[in-house]
Amino acid sequence: MSRPLLDGIRVLDFTQFQQGPSATVLMSDLGAEVIKVERLEVGDPSRHVGKRADGFCQYFHTHHRGKRSIAVDLRSSEGRELIFELVKRVDVVTENFKPGVMDRLGLGWDELRAQNPKLVYASASGFGPEGPRAKSTSWASVAGAAGGGMWANGVKGDKPYSNVAAPDPDQTGGMIFAFAIASALVARERTGEGQLVQTSLYGSQIWGRAPAINALANGSIVPSARNMPISNMFTLQAQGADGEWLFVGYITDRWVPMCRALEREDLVTDDRFATLADRNANLDELREEVAQVIATRPAAEWPPRFDAEDVPSTLIQDYPMIARDEQAAANEYIVDFEDERYGKLRTVGSPIRANGEQGRVRSLGPELGQDTDALLEEIGCAPDAIAELRAAGVVG
């Protein structure tokens, strides 16, 4: 078994909810030791989102599996000193509080790099570190609305739809955050110097919609189902004979191969579809012809036929289908995990494979403060001292 990519990297993680934790769980799956810093008694608020009667919280475990937990009163001078000692022993600090919170706690970039000059300090905010809304409170749906995600779904009457179109603000923000951290670690190894990296939900949403925003900003039509078709693009949603849905589509021209897969070579010489311009002009009729053929077989029989002709296609899968999907299981994107508290669970795995090995789900998320004593011992606290800190309400 090869050494995990991030083996030996230690992260002190102040992030909560999803944007930050989705980044640090990617790092945990790749071998990093992630130490989650939590509030006394209540911990990360995400511990309580959708909690079952038996105490299991899928939302929390999804984003905190494999991590350790220390519960500390960050407002106390004693708690701050404990954090300073931990900072001296880690590579990365992550936080996604409202801008200014870490500075008020005495845990900002300047304070922590004084404790560890090689520290990577990663901060994720709602709207970015500059500008009139730099200190504004935000969360995923707010950033999605600001970043075009509601307008991307179109309008209902004279209002944009209230749900946010993909990419998901938190998960996209987490990916950008993780990439920034990884890049900063590379820069630190090259220069020997600490790094400050800052990302935001809003910036990540804008980046995720760059093609459409750039097109509109420069006078082009934004490609969408509500505008003229893109040259050489064909897309279709159609039901198979069993009622399941199939998506087929291409960007580079696969018209003739698609007709072969459908066993409808006659469409190639049909005057309505003879040229690309003809096919675009008669797009509704073309889709109807293809949909009628797809309806003659169960939907699952079509992807292999299209694969044989290099025509992109897939079943349109809901979440239960994904959890059962052979392709997802083969790549360990969906894995089974045994936990002594909750038994056998099926969970989303790591999306990253390195040197032939998939990132690993090593454990579920930690109990609140389960590693407090062990971490304090690592920084030199004796058992009596730990007991005194707990009695004083500094740690839990």
Q: What is the pLDDT of residues 180-231, one digit of tens each?
A: 999 999 999 999 999 999 999 999 988 988 877 777 778 765 555 444 444 5
Q: Is 193 helix (H, G, I), strand (E, B) or coil?
A: coil
Domain 234-317 has CATH 3.40.640.10: no
Specify the pLDDT at position 129: 92
Alpha helices in 132-254 (DSSP H): 140-146, 169-191, 201-208, 210-217
Which of 107-116, 163-172, 335-344 is predicted most confidently? Answer: 107-116
Specify the pLDDT at position 161: 60
CB 396 within 8 A of CB 71: yes
Specify the pLDDT at position 225: 41
- Cα gap 103→110, rounded to integer Å: 9
| Tens-digit pLDDT profile for residues 115-156 | 999 999 999 999 999 999 999 888 888 888 888 877 766 666
User: Computed from CA positions of residues 379, 381, 383, 387, in that sequence, does the dihedral angle turn out positive or negative?
Assistant: negative
Q: Indicate the helix (H) or strand (E) that contains 304.
A: helix 302-308
| Tens-digit pLDDT profile for residues 18-63 | 999 999 999 999 999 999 999 999 999 999 999 999 989 999 999 9
Mean pLDDT of all residues in 7-27:
97
Q: Which residues contact 306 (CB under 8 A, 6 or more apart)?
A: 248, 258, 261, 312, 313
Specify the pLDDT at position 227: 46
Considering the four listed CATH numbers 3.40.50.10540, 3.40.50.300, 1.10.3430.10, 3.40.50.2300, the one that applies to the domain covering 10-210+352-391 is 3.40.50.10540
| Tens-digit pLDDT profile for residues 53-74 | 998 999 999 999 999 999 999 9
Q: Which residues contact 232 (CB under 8 A, 6 or more apart)?
A: 250, 251, 252, 253, 276
262 — pLDDT class (breaks 50, 70, 90)? very high
By the 10 Å C-beta count (0-12 exposed, 13-18 middle, 19+ buried), 314 is classed as: middle
Specify the pLDDT at position 158: 64
| Tens-digit pLDDT profile for residues 310-331 | 999 999 998 899 999 999 999 9
Ranges of each domain in the chain: 10-210+352-391, 234-317
Q: Please report the DSSP string for 344-379 in residue order.
A: EEEEE--S-EETTEE------PPPTTTTHHHHHHHT
- Cα gap 258→307, rounded to integer Å: 10
Closest listed residue to residue 114, CA positions, set 88, 94, 92, 90? 88
Name the average pLDDT for the chain.
90
Share of the chain above pLDDT 90, in %: 72
Cα separations in angstroms, 30 against 3, 93, 182, 331, 357:
9, 17, 12, 15, 10
- Cα gap 206→203, rounded to integer Å: 5
Specify the pLDDT at position 150: 75
172 — pLDDT class (breaks 50, 70, 90)? very high
Mean pLDDT of all residues in 290-309:
95
359 — pLDDT class (breaks 50, 70, 90)? very high
